[in-house]
Amino acid sequence: MKPRELLELIEEGENLTCEFKRKFSTTEKIAREMIAFANTKGGYLVIGVDDDKEIIGVESEKAEAELIYDAANNFCEPPLNINIDYVEVKGKEVVVVEIFESDNKPHRIQDYLKELDVNQSVVHIRVNDKSVQASKEMIRILKARSSQMNLKKYSIGPNEKAVFEFLDNYERISVKELSDYINISERRASRTLVKLVRANMLFLHTKDNGEEYFTSAQ
């Protein structure tokens, strides 16, 4: 990345595909940020820039890079595909980490489990300019999309009809609202809504605080 390109990136501010870090924090926190990008649209992690766009620089770009590669390879499961650039701007060194959108979602914080466990694995996604922990519903959807497991044939039963009945009146629905509405467990409500997303009949939305709701795709 050229200095001019970096300055343009900084000027745009933090957003869905860009995050600033004044300095390297913990390896796990950096892993979490990179995982969120890989699980969403990809993006840039810029180290040496403050939240207010002030260019601070880093003390040792090579030391930062070693820690970043360690986070990507050993603290993320599966490991992440990244690229690191060192850019000098206004006499200060900035580390720019490009994280590519993954074809193997969802990535999670290394938990040394043989397979992803929806109930235990820690998965993050980007929502606007923040990284948030993904819900069980989002994890299932990411996994299904990565495996190209969209449902092409899906019968509409009483639970599904209740979802669209609710949406006719309220425009959005959550797992708890469906659970209360037709008196089923939240687990069953979750699976019903996830299947409707996989069948391209619902959209899943995530707020900045991690709260989620579903709307009709039609």
**pLDDT of the residue at 215:** 94
Task: List all residues 6 or more positions away from 46 whose beta carbon is below 8 Å from its beta carbon.
Answer: 6, 9, 10, 18, 19, 20, 21, 94, 95, 96, 97
Q: How far apart are the first and last CA of the chain?
A: 41
Above pLDDT 70, what percent of the chain?
96
> For the segment 169-182, what is each residue's pLDDT rounded down to a tens digit?
999 999 999 999 99
Residue 58: strand, helix, or coil: coil
Q: Share the mean pLDDT of the chain.
A: 91
Specify whether the CB–CB gap between 58 and 94 falls below 8 A: yes
Q: Which residue has the tokens 């940020």?
A: 33
Specify whether the CB–CB gap between 174 and 213 falls below 8 A: yes
Q: Is the pLDDT of residue 166 over 80?
A: yes
> For the segment 108-161, what is each residue's pLDDT rounded down to a tens digit?
999 999 899 998 999 999 999 999 999 999 998 998 887 766 556 667 889 999
Q: Please, what are the domains in the chain?
A: 3-133 (3.30.950.30), 143-216 (1.10.10.10)
| H helix or E strand, kind and range, residue 130 | strand 130-133
**pLDDT of the residue at 124:** 96
Q: Is the pLDDT of residue 200 over 90?
A: no
Residue 216: strand, helix, or coil: strand
Total residue length of the chain: 218
**pLDDT of the residue at 178:** 94
Q: Is the pLDDT of residue 218 over 80?
A: no
Global pTM reads 0.85
Q: How far apart are CA 99 and CA 68, in angstroms?
A: 11
Angle between helices 175-182 and 186-198 (to 10 degrees): 120
Q: Is the pLDDT of residue 85 over 70?
A: yes
**pLDDT of the residue at 153:** 63
What are the beta bridge partners of residue 203?
215
pLDDT band at 25 (very low <50, low <70, confident <90, very high): confident
**pLDDT of the residue at 149:** 61
